[in-house]
Chains A and B, each alone.
Chain A
Amino acid sequence: EVQLLESGGGLVQPGGSLRLSCAASGFTFSNYAMSWVRQAPGKGLEWVSAISPDGVNTYYTDSVKGRFTISRDNSKVTLYLQMNSLRAEDTAVYYCAREYCSSTYCHRYFDYWGQGSLVTVSS
């Protein structure tokens, strides 16, 4: 059974840092691209960042470029999101999501999601 388990969320002051983790199980983690998607309270979904299966290629939405860093450790089957210079508008539930990848390419949709980790940026 595929499982994604986020951790590391919490309350942080504006300007602070936080690192989210997403522990994967039930599939060959190194074969799949992964993303972070967030949802502010009462709002829609916002794709934040993605990383290729080998970790070489990374992508970010404009609002987090230069502040957030996505990474992965395939030996530890874990995805990370390092968040620096946090702002009130970063307050959200952060989901990790698996992009379905076959043996030949990644198909550009999320077939599994974690349960989410709440990040609150407030003084």
Chain B
Amino acid sequence: DIQMTQSPSSLSASVGDRVTITCRASQSISNYLNWYQQKPGKAPKLLIYSASSLHGGVPSRFSGSGSGTDFTLTISSLQPGDFATYHCQQTYNSLWTFGHGTKVEIK
């Protein structure tokens, strides 16, 4: 199976901060990498697909980059509604896997 390593596992940031979360795959996955946001008690929501494509309705402060094994999710200016857990997901082969998540907390 392809292992996905997310870092950091948690971070504290303030409103207005630029936040970067990374996800590393154990082998090359081309650009088959998605990012989801999840708030407590809620289902995940798609933010970014195919490494860098913004899902409809998602604010432009969210962006994704990378290919191969290394990927990043960037929030350019953190807003109050962005405090949540972020998950990366690889869909390169038929056995999809998620990272362990990054919790973004208020500093």
Residues of A within 8 A of B (CB): 35, 37, 43-47, 50, 59, 61-62, 95, 100, 107-111, 113-116
Contacts and interface: CB of A to CB of B under 8 A. Distances in A.
Of residues A35, A100, A110, A113, which shows the largest number of chain B Cβ atoms within 10 Å of its Cβ? A110
Contacts of B46: 109-111
Interface string B1-29: 10000000000000000000000000000
Interface of B: 1, 32, 34, 36, 38, 42-46, 49-50, 55, 87, 89, 91, 94-101
A46 B98 contact: yes
Contacts, number: 59
Contacts of B55: 111
14 contacts: A35-B96, A44-B99, A45-B87, A47-B97, A61-B95, A95-B43, A100-B49, A107-B50, A108-B34, A109-B34, A110-B36, A110-B89, A113-B43, A115-B42
Mostly, the A contact residues are strand
Contact of A44 (B1, B42, B101): B101
A116 B87 contact: no
A108 B32 contact: yes
Contacts of A61: 1, 95
User: Which among A45, A59, A108, A110 has the highest number of chain B CB atoms within 10 Å?
Assistant: A45
A45 B101 contact: yes
Contact of B87 (A44, A50, A109, A115): A44
Contact of B98 (A44, A109, A111, A114): A44
A108 B44 contact: no
Contacts of A59: 94-95
